[in-house]
Amino acid sequence: MNLPIRGGYQLLLCFIFGAIGVLGLAPFRLSFFSTLALMGFFLFTIYSPSPKRSALHGCAWGLGYFIATTHWTYLSLVDHGGMPAWLGALAVFLFSGYLALFPALASYLSRKLPLPVAIQLIMAAPAIWTLSEWLRGTLFTGFPWAAVGYSQAPTGLLSPWFPLAGVYGVGYLLAVFAACVVWIAANLWGKNRKGIATSALVTAASCTIVILISQFLSTIEWTRPFGKPLHVSLVQGAIAQDLKWDPKRFNDTLARYLQLTHQAQGRLVVLPETAFPVFLEELPKEYLEALTKTPKARGADLLIGAARKNTEARGYFNSAILISENNLPHYNKQHLVPFGEFIPMKWAIGWIYRSMLNMPLDDFSAGSKTQPAMMVADQRLMPNICYEDVFGEEIAAVSANATILVNLSNLAWFDGSIALEQHGQISQARTLETGKPMIRATNSGMTVAIDQHGHYQGRLPERIPAILESEVQGRAGLTPYLHLKNLPILAWCLLMLGLGYIRTYAKRLPGKTSHTI
């Protein structure tokens, strides 16, 4: 099939197909658009005249998708980081361009395989797409934000697959469906009656099987209640990012968190990431005593997010500290944000931070990858900080013994953007994968309690100082995803490619001819 649109209009259409993918994610949650975006991706991947042209189409698609889904990084760089507007816009474009390399690679490899169109679409392309998403989430510390599978959290038709296959497995199923629709459309366009019947039959059978399995999976409770429900108080200070580091506002910040903490009623009180604009060690001793006095008086625990000096070496940690305990059990953030919490290639780009940016605490030390859960009442809490919960496999690795997951974030860097809703949806996917509830305490928005099915039990309005009081039931047990993580879906994708390779090799044997597009 020849593409009906010529020249530069193809690239524009690819860009548009990619950009509409943002509508499939929170806050829009119109999951159909994620599928539609993938349809456009596979159409311009498989039916491009050459692998190089296909890669160009994939890059244009990726630019549209990632500019639309991650444009909010501009706010942190320009509005709060002090970067010039032109440089901030350029940084967003270059970052999106880097992320676009992964769909470009997927397009190139999918088109390069000399296979019949049907096998290329149904077997190879979805597998390569999924592997490219996994690679994007892994390479150079990874950035798995906006994986297409998130569009199904928490109530999509494919949401029951999260505990089994994770977000990449859900994304793979979406990709297969999108590829099947493109296959049908191509046969209709080419008026291939036999192809129409075959593609429609295969698509209908595949969808029926997936739907039936989804219905079965939805009846399974992978985890079980553990202990008594825990009354939690999630404190949202709503300290504007441009005021947080103002020395004149320091006392106001302390007073606000002191007031909110004393008003909290929970057995566990949680303050957000880096709640105070100083190191924990620099907080006045009398203030810490006042902060913990009321919780201690009623037998409650207080978990706060704070920067903490590394006593064993130079540097500092982004930590969650249970400060109501005498020995201060803590969790140190181990997956740091590149360019935000540590500076890659400091020798080359450190001058930008020194001369153009105003980003306090931009070079944290990473915590250990194996850190114990914290005991509160009869529950085992496993903290994660900021965007650590974007990494499903890493959350799974530390969640086996936990009964409640706790996220501490400061999303004031992105106030007013779709980043907050997107992060909430990502946390919903983590609860589905692990079968464990998650509570989120944030500085300015997306302070929520999420049950094991990904549903919000409670949520605070954004940018309002308040406390979310919620009863959270801990859960014990392991989902299949907690057991095997991403291994099954990665193995499946490699199997699909292996079968495609075997077919390609067989076609090249003497006396055989290969069928290329």
Domains of the chain and CATH, by start = 8-221+484-507 (no CATH), 224-331+364-478 (3.60.110.10)
Describe the crossing of helices 419-434 and 392-399 by its angle, rounded to 10 degrees: 40
Rg (Cα) of the chain, in Å, rounded? 25
**pTM beyond cutoff 0.85:** yes
Q: What is the average pLDDT score of the chain?
A: 91
List active site positions: 273, 333, 386
- Cis, peptide link before residue 465, omega less than 30° from 0: no
Tokens of 258: 């002191």
Model pLDDT, residue 359: 53
pLDDT at 81 exceeding the cut of 80:
no
Return left, alpha or beta for 265; rule: phi > 0 is left, psi -120 to 50 is alpha, else beta: alpha
Largest CA distance in the chain: 86
Percent of the chain whose predicted confidence (pLDDT) is above 70 = 91
Model pLDDT, residue 515: 38
pLDDT at 351 exceeding the cut of 50:
no
Q: What is the pLDDT of residues 227-238, one digit of tens each?
A: 999 999 999 999
Model pLDDT, residue 115: 81
Q: pLDDT band for position 345 (50/70/90)?
A: low
Q: pLDDT band for position 362 (50/70/90)?
A: low
- In this structure, the strands spanning 268-270 and 230-236 are parallel
SS3 assignment, position 391: coil
Q: How many other β-carbons are positioned within 10 Å of the β-carbon of residue 362?
A: 16
Per-residue CA distances from 422 to 27, 29, 146, 190 (Å): 7, 10, 8, 39
DSSP assignment letter at 467: E
